[in-house]
Amino acid sequence: MAIAPPVLLNLEQKTHLQNATHHIAPTWPLDQMIAVNPFWQMRHLPIEQVFNRLSSLNNIHCFMPRQYYADLYRQGHISQTALQLAAKDQRSELSINQLEACLQQTDELSHWHNIADLLDAQRDEHKMAWCDEIIQQISQFCAAHYQQSNPIYSGAKNTPHACLYQHWLEVSRHDKGLSIIMDEPKLHDYFYQLPNEAEALLAQALDELSIDGAMIEHYGHALLLDINGWASWVAYLRWQGHLYAKANDQMLQLLAIRMAWELVIWRYLKDEQKHNFAQLSNHWIREKNQLASVFKRHEQAQKPLWIWAQAAELSYQHQLNSQLLNAHKQIVTSPKLQAAFCIDVRSEVIRRALEAQSEHIQTLGFAGFFGLPIEYQPHNHGLSRPQLPGLLKPVIKVSQVTKTPQSHHQMNAKARWQAWTQAAPSAFSMVESMGWLYAFKMLKKSFFATKVEHPINRFTHANNWQLEKQQQPLTIKDKAELAQGILNAMGLTQFAPTVLLIGHGSHTTNNLHAAGLDCGACGGQTGEVNVRVLAQLLNDKDVRAELTHLGINITPDTHFVAALHNTTTDHIDYFEPQLNDEITAWLKAATTQAQRERIVNIAPQMASSNKASLDKFYRKLSLDWSQVRPEWGLANNAAFIVSPRSRTRNVNLQGRCFLHDYQWQNDSGFSVLELIMTAPMVVTNWINMQYNASTTDNHKYGCGNKLLHNAVAGHIGVFEGNGGDLRNGLSLQSLHDGQKWMHQPLRLSVYIAAPREPIEQITAKHDNVRALIDNQWLYLLRWSDDGIIERYYQGKWLPQNSQP
């Protein structure tokens, strides 16, 4: 067969293809799992346009089923007034009756089809589907290509830095099984016709498939959505490359791989099955010609769903507005105990429980990494891990100096530990391969479960942390300036005798997504390192002396104590020999109250149990290797409130709100507000959108049934079963209790207690902030000191108090 002459991409084609590759958001590996807004790379577009595009190109569901909204309406969670306001806001003339009727309709919308889709529609049902095999082949190849240890594919090219497309082409040309699997003789020969360079392949495909103009971007985007899991992994590598100034963008090569399959089957049918090719060619011409009308039909179909979705959001906002505006303000003037928690929604419940123990307890909300831009490295070892949000790059390295440092042998044990206690045993397949002795071990874990700790987290209780920047120890002045920035951002100016710095982490067993339940602000780790380092910093006499020159006076009778909130059990463990009896009693009572509040959503049958039984149940839950719902994580998150705690202390926010302390009167120049709006507000949007997308379309943006999960290359991600695309997002068990959804998809409502002007100025200054607000990826609401709540949108302030 003659090899087609070389064709080169022109500038316009390359631009459209690059645009397509930049629509995919990154996903972090399992051991650093953080929540990500899967639409983040399209934040510059209005959310309606993005949802229309995804639905049109890949049949992605960005809304809940119509029956879901009907149920909310019937149950009173969506009011008629909210429905009317949402319709008015979207300039719709649909009446209440018409909107109700819309929920009874069934959409039968056609969406864009790639060539493989078109072929499957006319393919013999007894043969392997083209789409299934294409995704399987690309996915299995990527898993092998990116595996960093014990590589599956041998050869000099098999490294994560090898040319992705060339490596795939080499493997595919040697894989004679493709013709057999597809039952298509000679199919294998067509891989030899493909050019050796990714750009040449893309140029040939666009030319032969007659793709031009703006359709190039849509086609490229649709192909990447077919393999969205691996595209997201490549986007993560690109993200890390930008963060650390080490270019690593392989997305165009991944697109070339997916497009190569389109070209291969196009050429194969053209030469080998002329009748089928004629039919395919006609379908392909029609598909391209009707893309604009597909976009239009999906836009029309989504309009009533947007009204229902917004009505649900307005109904929630009205309820929250009423709570906030009617709340009794309570200021703690002389606290005996201050406790700083992460803004994580799970902290809202335990904070309320702790505050209920005494009017002399003050709690604060702050980002879980406590403002420390650090990475943790065990002493005398090369391993390190980030302990800060994925948006940021660590600039300080911390390690704990011990008298008996861990040996390399001990540290290497972490790999084995991860394989045997965190990876899904695939439990019964493990019995099959390891024999009945392993089954006995599983039964032993069931009846005599004990806590298993990661070797890298075996810290001493001594506060002997070493901080370095650019391989030089931080000076006392450096440490004081770091502490000053943190205390100012926290709003801590007066100090109680005991100040608890409380990070958080989950404790579950046999959970590949365990890091996703830990602190996202700490890079998918617990906040233990951060609070230990900060406590040492603030207890250091020399640092305190230097702080006095910076206007901060911490008296000798104030002691900072590092602690960790276990979000599975609600225990608060502190890293001190002891606290006084009163504080200890408060912490235990808070645990009991929080456990009792949460049990309704975890095990309602335990609601009337006594304190001891309840605690025993939670402990067992955290150690049970067979437990698929050890906790609900951040499910049902809905709002981010930036205000003094005194204004929300007497409000039960039901574990749905991120709470960040902020007093605008103490924020000179509004630098703290700028930090909040550009960092925690973005992170909460990521969390909110990941939970929303994993709920509305778990097939594309979630990871399915966790009982079927298998780890890919140790830490990259999971397959559901042994193949298909790499799965991102949350499992069904993290969102649904078997009878109902535990997360209600609502766009995040951000409430900021601050004047108008700084909010306007910060929004105008930062493109990301402006995009989130003006393209409606979240609601930005101002909660004024005089009891007014108004929305900021596209440069205007819109009153909200009258909304239902």
Distance CA 57, CA 225 (A): 8
| Selection from 570, 794, 768 nearest residue 677 by Cα | 768
How confident is the model over 774-786, as a mean pLDDT? 97
Phi, psi of 465 (to 5 degrees): -95, 135
pLDDT at position 523: 92
Q: Is the pLDDT of residue 446 over 60?
A: no
Phi, psi of 657 (to 5 degrees): -120, 135
pLDDT at position 4: 53
For residue 455, with 0-12 CB atoms within 10 Å meaning exposed, 13-18 middle and 19 or more buried, which class applies? Answer: middle
| Selection from 743, 698, 618, 582 nearest residue 68 by Cα | 743
CB of 347 closer than 8 Å to CB of 366: no
CB of 139 closer than 8 Å to CB of 227: yes
Tokens at residue 323, please?
């709570």
CB of 261 closer than 8 Å to CB of 134: yes
Question: Which residue is associated with the tokens 């891990």?
Answer: 385
pLDDT at position 407: 46
Rg (the chain; Cα; Å): 28
CA distances from 790 to 612, 680, 746, 777 (A): 46, 21, 18, 17
Lowest mean pLDDT, pick from 156-170, 694-708, 757-771: 156-170
- In SS3 terms, 131-185 reads as HHHHHHHHHHHHHHHCCCCCCCCCCCCCCCCCCHHHHHHHHHHHCCHHHHHHCCC
Phi, psi of 345 (to 5 degrees): -60, -25
- Residue 326 per-residue DSSP state: H
pLDDT at position 451: 57
pLDDT at position 73: 97
626-639 residue pLDDT tens: 899 999 999 999 99
pLDDT at position 400: 87
| Residues contacting residue 38 through CB under 8 Å, at least 6 positions apart | 25, 232, 689, 690, 693, 701, 728, 729
Q: Diameter of the chain by CA atoms?
A: 88
The residue with greater pLDDT, 554 or 428, is 554
pLDDT at position 384: 86
Q: Is the pLDDT of residue 454 over 60?
A: no
Neighbours of 744 (CB within 10 A): 20
- Residue 736 per-residue DSSP state: B
Distance CA 304, CA 92 (A): 9
Distance CA 666, CA 645 (A): 14
Mean pLDDT over each residue of the chain, to the nearest integer: 90
CB of 619 closer than 8 Å to CB of 304: no
Model confidence band, residue 8 (pLDDT cutoffs 50, 70, 90): confident
Which contiguous run of DSSP H or E holds residue 232? helix 228-243
Q: Is the pLDDT of residue 413 over 60?
A: no
643-664 residue pLDDT tens: 999 999 999 999 999 999 999 9
pLDDT at position 705: 96
Beta bridge pairs of residue 396: 374
The residue with greater pLDDT, 115 or 105, is 115
HSE-up of residue 149 (Cα within 13 Å, Cβ side): 5
Distance CA 793, CA 89 (A): 12
Degrees to nearest 5, angle at CA 138 with 133 and 142: 150
DSSP 429-491: HHHHHH-HHHHHHHHHHHHS------GGG---SS--EEEEETTEEPPHHHHHHHHHHHHHHHT
CA distances from 140 to 172, 713, 748 (A): 11, 11, 36
How confident is the model over 516-542, as a mean pLDDT? 95
Answer left, alpha or beta for residue 721, where phi above 0 means left and psi between -120 and 50 means alpha: left
Q: Which residue ranges make up each domain of the chain?
A: 129-289, 337-793
675-712 residue pLDDT tens: 999 999 999 999 999 999 999 999 999 999 999 999 99
324-360 residue pLDDT tens: 999 999 999 999 999 999 999 999 999 999 999 999 9
Q: Which residues are annotated as a binding site for Zn(2+)?
A: 342, 344, 504, 519
Bridge-based pairing state of the strands 717-720 and 779-783: unpaired
Question: Which residue is associated with the tokens 């574990």?
Answer: 655
Which contiguous run of DSSP H or E holds residue 348? helix 345-355
Neighbours of 413 (CB within 10 A): 15
For residue 205, with 0-12 CB atoms within 10 Å meaning exposed, 13-18 middle and 19 or more buried, which class applies? Answer: buried
Distance CA 679, CA 670 (A): 14
pLDDT at position 801: 57
pLDDT at position 459: 58
Percent of the chain with pLDDT over 70: 89
Q: Is the pLDDT of residue 307 over 60?
A: yes
Model confidence band, residue 158 (pLDDT cutoffs 50, 70, 90): very low
- In SS3 terms, 303-321 reads as HHHHHHHHHHHHHHHHHHH
Looking at residue 135, its amino acid is I
Q: Is the pLDDT of residue 410 over 70?
A: no
Model confidence band, residue 185 (pLDDT cutoffs 50, 70, 90): very high
Distance CA 197, CA 194 (A): 9
The side-by-side arrangement of strands in the sheet containing 385-386 is 385-386, 374-376, 396-400, 465-469, 472-473
Q: Is the pLDDT of residue 395 over 80?
A: yes
Q: Convert 545-578 to b/e letters by CB count within 10 Å (16 or more is b).
A: ebbeeeebebeeebbbbbbbbbbbbbbbebbeee
| Residues contacting residue 553 through CB under 8 Å, at least 6 positions apart | 547
Distance CA 139, CA 725 (A): 6
| Residues contacting residue 512 through CB under 8 Å, at least 6 positions apart | 30, 422, 423, 424, 706, 709, 711, 718
| Selection from 518, 401, 512, 522 nearest residue 465 by Cα | 401
Question: Which residue is associated with the tokens 């069904």?
Answer: 732
How confident is the model over 480-499, as a mean pLDDT? 95
pLDDT at position 428: 37
308-333 residue pLDDT tens: 999 999 999 999 999 999 999 999 99
HSE-up of residue 163 (Cα within 13 Å, Cβ side): 10
CB of 462 closer than 8 Å to CB of 399: no
Distance CA 33, CA 386 (A): 11
535-577 residue pLDDT tens: 999 999 999 999 999 999 999 999 999 999 999 999 999 988 7
Q: Is the pLDDT of residue 181 over 60?
A: yes
Neighbours of 745 (CB within 10 A): 23
Q: Which residues are annotated as a binding site?
A: 342, 344, 504, 519
